[in-house]
Structure 1
Amino acid sequence: MTYTAPITEQTFVLETVAGIGEIQQLPAYESATPDLVQAILVEAGKLASGVFAPLNRKGDTEGAKWNDGAVTLPAGFADAYRQYVEGGWGSLGADPVYGGQGMPFVLASAVQEQLTSANMAFSLCMMLTQGAIEALGAHASEDQKQEYLTKLISGEWTGTMNLTEPQAGSDVGALRSRAEPHADGSYRITGQKIFITWGEHDVADNIIHLVLARLPDAPGGTKGISLFIVPKILPDGSRNDLRCVSIEHKLGIHASPTCTMSYGDEGNCIGYLVGAENAGMRAMFTMMNHARINVGMQGVSVAERAYQHALAFSKERVQVKRIIEHPDVRRMLMTMKSTTEAIRALGYLNAAAVDRAHGESDTEAKREWQALADLLTPVTKGYATDMGVEMSSLAVQVFGGMGFIEETGAAQHLRDSRIAPIYEGTNGIQALDLVNRKLPQGRWKPLFADIRETIRALPGDGDLGAIKPYLDDGLAALENATVWLVGNHGDGFDDAAAGATPYLRMFGIVAGGWLLAKQALAASERLAAGEGDPAFLKAKIVTARFFAEQIVPQGTALLGPITRGGALLFALDEAQFAA
């Protein structure tokens, strides 16, 4: 199972969708020159394909091992992580004040995409650390930044996010972990956290846990939660009173240790408050929103890896003739190719909006870009991860019976992908966030206007012209669904909630079709100007047409389910579900 970073594709999307040229003009990102961006993608691709990818199968078959509180990774992982650190890859998008390179988030996301395609389980270590960097960068004190942020950015230390407890999953406010103030200004942390990704391992010297806990006099629910830095190794070099008591045996991502962490078994687990008391959820959401975009990119990554694997197999497998010559296999490959390119464009646009919100000096422009980033985040996380699962499943289908055999490796992509729609807020929660929080803010109106502008720019004939009616119908359905949901946001909450998940999918499909159409227009312009690789550019146009004709109508058809309301979902009483 080889992996090749799709650098030509990534560069094209950065240019035509993310607007990397405009981002490079912002003072914050002036050092991200075109030559440097290209060099970063090329060198990261070498690390991904040459170092991370060869460990993917080994990590799946051997997995992380727990023994008396210690977790070890298969041979080769520690050395691969060392190469990641020595290359400065963890510092790519971080603040230069604390040792970062200050590159745009969208570029860092493209690099993370490569590493995740190469080895999803391993890449989770880096992704969680990046989230910890974001949280501490936004909310930690200057002393805390100097103590912890610099080492996290360098990669010498890794970071985690500790929210979930046995009784407190999506309902974070039900957590029971406690933080008792200590005379020296620190806190004593007690409690247990579950599903802590990379909570214990042997690839770095220290692990900085960001832990949600409740102070003794804190109010109930999420309003009474505070955030604490709880290092595995304390500043004086001693071991903190925390322990990994077990790791989970999972469907996939076997090389990613998913830990149950116990804090304060001996009454001396030291933590340090981040930000104000009872303001932990605000700080944690900084980390989670960053992570949600990166998790959406995991959907892109696993879809890309599964597609490359299936494509290579289809060229070699002969059933009367090579199976790539069969129409149904072509349909599956085109579905995988077009969908992967659509969700990549969605993720890059989302990340670029974060960059623009950060880098713009104009207050109104900053607000508009942040609103777009907020609107797109649940769509990126939800739609892209759903597609990661579906495209991985299609890859197994391309392999046929061989795909069901573990030795081919096709099943690993499907198994690994299945976690992404679940963690960092299940996709059902993403859909509710989109409908109940983001739509009422109104940022969808200028976004839909942008989609309409692209539709108007499409010619009336040829491959580009063929896209027009399908995208037009899709946007009309999306507008109707949006107006209906916004109108039912108050008294019709259950009705809006019932349509939230199909709405998120419709939004993702139409947005994906739009972004592919934008790329097709750009490809047509470059062809006319004699610029770029003609084969790649022509493929862009055909791929956009396929998605418009074959996938966008599936989104258009969701208007009915979105607007049916919630009554039918409750038409059976609980006893009838067993009948």
Structure 2
Amino acid sequence: MKLYSRENLDFILFDVLSVQELNKLTFFGEYDKENLGMILDTASELADKIKPEHIAESDRNEPELKNGRVQVHSAVHEFVKSYAEAGFVGAALPEALGGFQIPKTIVAAIDFILCSKSNSFIMYTDLAKGVANVIATFGTEAQKQRFLPNLLSGKWLGTMCLTETESGSSLANITTKAIPQSDGSYQIKGQKIFISAGDHDITENIIHLVLARIEGAPQGTKGISLFLVPTRLENGEDNDVGSIGIYHKMGQKATPAMHLEFGANDTCVGYLVGEAHKGLSHMFLMMDNARLSVGSMGAGIASAAYYHALRYAKERKQGKHLDESKDASESVAIINHPDVRRMLLSQKAFLEGTLGFILQCYSYLDLQKHSPNEDEVEKYTRLLNLLTPVAKTYGAEHGVSSVNQALQVFGGYGYTADFPLEQLARDVRILPIYEGTTGIHALGLLGRQVLRDQGKALAIWRDEVMKDVHQALEIKEIEASASRLSLEIEHFFEITQHLAELTKKNTADIYLADANLYMEFFGTLNVGWQWIKQAIVAYEKMQERPDAVFLKSKVKTMEFFFTYEIPNLKGLKERLLSLERTTVKTDDDEILM
């Protein structure tokens, strides 16, 4: 069954983002539209191998900790093997390190395709890619030679180990210790919790990226270092990494979340990655990629839910036409009911708009990393710092609401295990929590990114958006939507200026109290921008193909977004411009009572 649209994916990649033009950069010189399309074909073939019954089985039968090792469903083993054999783990890495120098934008599209089929399976390979990327960027030559070939081949997998019992969103409180040894290695001692894919029987070795504090290091985040900790050493001996237990989760059950202990017997060996006390900045390379990946996962899960709901709405007959002029003698498919159409269009608008936004962020990542122009590198660095948390949170939060709407289309059947919607609803719920909660990212956006360097990143962003707005204003069919987006951007800057004034009055609590709503406003603007971009291209193509249903659907969905979603900004504006902060003024006991 179709769970994503290849036509839509190609439209965004090649027509809107022109990702094929990345081959103007030396690093991507070998890739044109044809062979990039062939890579996506391979991903589609791999997705087709994932059987629905295996997804359901791996959800019902959670991984188990037996005899000191976690056992996972055999289908996960097969997926990891096929993914690695396709070369996808190291796809974006330089050829000199065993990679294929494929644009990260395309790698993100690969994972979107696969995530629409199984969001749990892709977690294992996503983590392996992240570990490989950190080693490729910060590792020593010896570390690259030792770890990369086995990670890229799928012989080994990886994790990132940040969270501790008393150190979740605030990593400054990490207590895991790293004790220097005479041979240059470190003895690692401590516990980590909620470690995705922290233990399993898929590979013979798991490479953990562990945040720890070297003895004598400064307190706070400036004293944290990053270490490579394999479960097995080069000689094959156990490295004193133990599994205390598995967390029994609401969703994404095919991927175990582990409570790990490092050094219970004081024999756990770790290897410093990069500079001492720079661990958090090194880990952010993996975390920023992971944040975009979480946003993409929201779109991938929402895609699966949308196409299940669309198919059901076309097949399920219930009720009569509301239009009395039409034949009311027979029941009609529920897709004929306006409220069902609203829910379907809402899902489609989120899915296609957010996917465009996330893939655009990945294209910025490709340009930032490989452009020879220093000014361009600075520009895309600023844009990524600004937009990455927005792409993550919008994709995650609206992924949840989009899947909920898909379940609603199914009615009571959606709530049962007979259909996949209840599993998708459980799977998607973790995304606003993964890789930094929505609230934490909102505080970072408003508290740091927006006003940094006198708001330079935001000014660059506005210039980027207005280029497309000005082009759209010349097209009669989308002029009104472009004009509305321009107006809402003015409102956004009015809000930003209003909030900035509060920082001068030493009222940080009032300034940041509704950061989450500010994030929502900004995210909606960005997806509105994507719909303007897509509508421009669709309209241009319609001049040659006026009857193309796909293109007409693009323009119609853009109209829906501006008719149903953009008006919500009015209420957000009113709240953000108000100085009344009930959340700040309410006492603890008033909430408890």
The aligned amino acid for 2:255 is S
State the Cα distance separating 1:469 from its structure 2 match: 3.9
* Counterpart-to-counterpart distance in 2, 1:238 and 1:461: 67
State the SS of the aligned residue for 2:436. Answer: coil
CA RMSD of aligned residues (A): 1.7
Q: 1:51 is paired with a residue of what secondary structure?
A: coil
Matches within 5 A, 1:123-162: 123-162=122-161
1:173 maps to what in 2?
172
- Kindly provide the amino acid, as one letter, of the partner of residue 561 in structure 2: F
Residues 497-534 of structure 1: per-residue CA shift (max 9 Å, x gap): 11211111111111111111111111111121349x82
Aligned counterpart in structure 2 of residue 544 of structure 1, from 558, 569, 582: 558
2:568 equivalent to 1:554: yes
What residue in structure 2 maps to residue 343 of structure 1?
354
Percent identity over the alignment? 33
1:82 corresponds to which residue? Answer: 81
Residue 70 of structure 1 corresponds to: 69
Q: Which residue of 2 aligns with 1:236?
A: 235
Q: 1:537 to 1:95 in 2, by over 3 A?
A: same
1:462 Cα deviation from its structure 2 partner: 5.5
**Distance apart, 1:18 and its partner CA:** 3.0
d(CA) in 1 for partners of 2:53, 2:110: 17
Q: In structure 1, which of residues 473, 476, 501 is the aligned counterpart of residue 490 of structure 2?
A: 476
Kindly provide the amino acid, as one letter, of the partner of residue 335 in structure 2: I
Contact map agreement 2:4 2:304 (CA 8 A) in 1: no
Post-superposition shift, 1:90? 1.4
Please report how far the alpha carbon of residue 144 of structure 1 lies from its aligned counterpart in structure 2 after TM superposition.
0.6
Q: Secondary structure at the match of 1:261?
A: strand
Q: Counterparts of 1:70 and 1:130 in 2: how far apart (Å)?
A: 23
Give the counterpart of 2:587 among 548, 573, 578. Answer: 573
C-alpha distance in structure 1 between counterparts of 2:16 and 2:518, whole Å: 23
The DSSP-based 3-state class of the residue aligned with 2:134 is helix
58-67 vs 482-491, which moves further: 482-491
- The answer to whether structure 1 residue 492 and structure 2 residue 507 are counterparts is yes
**Structure 2 CA distance, aligned partners of 1:484 and 1:432?**
16
Matched, 1:163 2:177: no
Amino acid at match of 1:36: N
Match for 1:341: what amino acid? E
Distance 1:79 1:556, change over 3 A: same
- Structure 1, 275-284 or 101-110: larger mean CA deviation: 275-284
Gap regions ≥5 residues in structure 2 = 320-331
Q: Equivalent residue of 1:89, what SS?
A: coil
Is the Cα–Cα contact under 8 Å of residues 446 and 515 in structure 2 kept in the other structure? yes
1:459 CA displacement: 4.6
**Letter of the 1:464 counterpart:** I
Please give the alpha-carbon distance, in whole angstroms, between the structure 2 residues aligned to 1:414 and 1:281: 32
Give distance in 1, aligned partners of 2:553 and 2:279. 48
Q: How does 1:199-214 map to 2 (within 5 A)?
A: 199-214=198-213
> Shift of the alpha carbon at 1:12?
1.1
Aligned to 1:502: 517
Contact 1:460 1:466 in 2 (8 A): no
Report what 2:471 is aligned to: 457
The letter for the 2-side match of 1:370 is: T
3-state SS of the aligned residue for 2:450?
helix
CA contact (8 A) 2:206 2:231 kept: yes
8 Å CA contact retained: 2:473, 2:483:
no
> Which deviates more from structure 2 when the two are superposed, residues 303-312 or residues 21-30?
21-30
Identify which range, 234-243 or 11-20, moves more after superposition.
11-20
User: 8 Å contact 1:187–1:273 — kept in the other structure?
Assistant: yes
Alpha-carbon offset, residue 177 of structure 1: 0.7
Q: Secondary structure at the match of 1:13?
A: helix
Matched letter for residue 434 of structure 1: L
Corresponding residue for residue 533 of structure 2: 518
**What does the per-residue CA deviation read over 1:212-264, in whole Å, with 9 as the maximum and x for residues that have no partner?**
11111111111111111000111112121111111110110011110000111
Counterpart-to-counterpart distance in 2, 1:93 and 1:237: 30
Letter of the 1:220 counterpart: Q
After the TM superposition, which residues 357-506 of structure 1 pair with which residues of structure 2 at under 5 Å, given as runs? 357-441=368-452, 442-459=456-473, 463-489=477-503, 491-506=506-521
Could you tell me how far apart the structure 1 residues matched to 2:394 and 2:128 are?
Answer: 24
Paired residue secondary structure (1:244): strand
Counterpart-to-counterpart distance in 2, 1:470 and 1:271: 55
2:178–2:187: 8 Å Cα contact kept in structure 1? yes
Cα distance in structure 2, aligned partners of 1:183 and 1:514: 56
Which amino acid is the alignment partner of residue 177 of structure 1? T
Question: Do the aligned residues in 1 keep the contact of 2:130 with 2:289 (CA within 8 Å)?
Answer: yes
Question: Contact between 1:395 and 1:410, CA under 8 Å: does it hold in 2?
Answer: yes
Taking the aligned partners of 2:23 and 2:562, their CA distance within structure 1 comes to: 31
The AA in structure 2 aligned to 1:393 is N
Q: TM-score, normalised to structure 2's length?
A: 0.94
Measure the CA separation in 1 of the matches of 2:151 and 2:91.
12
> Which residue of 548, 560, 565 maps to 1:534?
548
**Which residue of the partner structure matches residue 326 of structure 1?**
337
The alpha-carbon deviation at position 318 of structure 1 amounts to: 1.2
Report the Cα offset of residue 69 of structure 1: 2.4
| 1:48 is the counterpart of 2:47 | yes
The answer to whether residue 312 in structure 2 is matched with residue 297 in structure 1 is no
For 2:553, the aligned partner's letter is A
Residues 354-374 of structure 1 deviation map (CA, whole Å, 9 limit, x = unaligned): 100011101111110111111
What is the aligned partner in structure 2 of residue 61 from structure 1? 60
Greater mean deviation of Cα atoms: 5-14 or 503-512: 5-14
One-letter amino acid matched to 1:172: L
Deviations 1:300-353 (A, max 9, x none): 111111101111111111113211111100000000001111110110111110
Which one-letter code corresponds to 2:367 in the other structure?
A: R
User: Cα distance, 1:460 vs. partner?
Assistant: 7.1
- Separation of aligned partners in 2, 1:527 and 1:461: 12
Give the superposition deviation at 1:550. Answer: 1.0
442-451 vs 102-111, which deviates more? 442-451
Amino acid at match of 2:440: I
Give the secondary structure class of the aligned counterpart of 2:49.
Answer: helix
Count of residue correspondences: 577
Bigger shift: residues 164-173 or 476-485: 476-485
* Equivalent-residue separation in structure 2 for 1:425 and 1:323 (angstroms): 39
Separation of aligned partners in 2, 1:93 and 1:6: 24
Structure 1 counterpart of 2:344, which letter? L
CA distance, structure 1, for counterparts of residue 261 and residue 102 of structure 2: 36
Query: Which residue identity does 1:526 align to in structure 2?
Result: K
Query: How far apart are the structure 1 equivalents of 2:342 and 2:48?
Result: 28
Runs of 5+ consecutive residues of structure 1 not aligned to the other structure = none
Q: Distance in 1 between matches of 2:414 and 2:112?
A: 24
Residues 379 and 460 in structure 2, CA contact (< 8 A), matched pair in contact too? no
CA shift, 1:21, in A, is: 3.2
- TM-superposed CA distance for 1:171, in Å, is 1.2
